Amino acid sequence: MRTLCVTGGNGLLGMKLAGLASRSFRVFSADVQEGPSLELPNTEYVRTDVVDPAQVEGLLLRAKPEAVFHTAAFTDVDGCEIHRERAWSVNVTGTENVASACRRHGVRMIHLSTDYVFDGAAGPYSETDAPNPVSHYGRTKLESERIVQSLLPVALIARTMVLYGYAAGARDNFVTWLVAALGRRTPVRIVTDQYGHPTLADDLARALMLLFERNAAGILHAAGAEWLNRFEFAVKAAEVFGLDSSLITPTTSDAFKQPAPRPLRSGLKTDKLRGAFGFIFSAVDEGLRTVRIQMEEAGILK
């Protein structure tokens, strides 16, 4: 049976990828926790810290995968700004460890990156636009891209953004956090000046599997179909989930005094993905309805 490996296997995207891949492949899911957040068929969990090259080497020797989907990362943008050494260790050194092991063993690599490699001055961005990160998180992810490209010229680097969805055991994302807050009738303030393409995790997992099967290489943007700001996204979520949108107050990024600057006018153009591979992401309302159904089936929503 063909074998794949997913780092960051306890994250939202990692679980979606493992669940999808396990239908046709044996999957090795790797993360730093003691055990898996979700038990999946044809999937073996291996506790692995990508910062430790010996653990990464052991993972590949054990799994002998055809490809590694590298989703493990320190993605707390403000946390990266404050804990810079840790961010570099996980996002840069960890990625280098995975890429180096893949090179030694002749394993393909699919590396996840982000719109935060851009400054957000004039998005949405295409793959040929020049990166210019404004946060430490963005700088670590850009450096990780450069390392992967230098070690594995035929690797795939997929940039995405504003990932949302539901998976049991995954930490909150914008949508699950918002639904929980509005469900408690807690007022929330959401910014109107941060634009981008919200991306359904299920869609991204399908896109990555397609790109793997089609031997895609280089940098590709993989993000949702609609460009809107966070406030507009929040209002749509409230409507789809039948929650009170009047609890959502518009504000701007300056009001939060966050440690890390954000790329405000961001977004990722997906013309290349659509044209070369025929993949189209869900519209926001459709994606939100998918999440609602999944949460209802899991008993999260009443």
User: Which residues are known to be catalytic?
Assistant: 137
Please enumerate in sequence order all residues whose Cβ is within 8 A of that of 196, keeping only pairs 6 or more positions apart, or say none: 115, 123, 124, 161, 162, 223, 227, 228, 266, 267, 268
Nearest to 22 by CA among 37, 50, 44: 44
Cα of 85 vs its chain's centroid, Å: 21
Q: Which tokens belong to 222?
A: 């993989």
Q: Which tokens belong to 18?
A: 């493992």
Neighbours of 1 (CB within 10 A): 6
Nearest to 82 by CA among 133, 136, 139, 132: 136
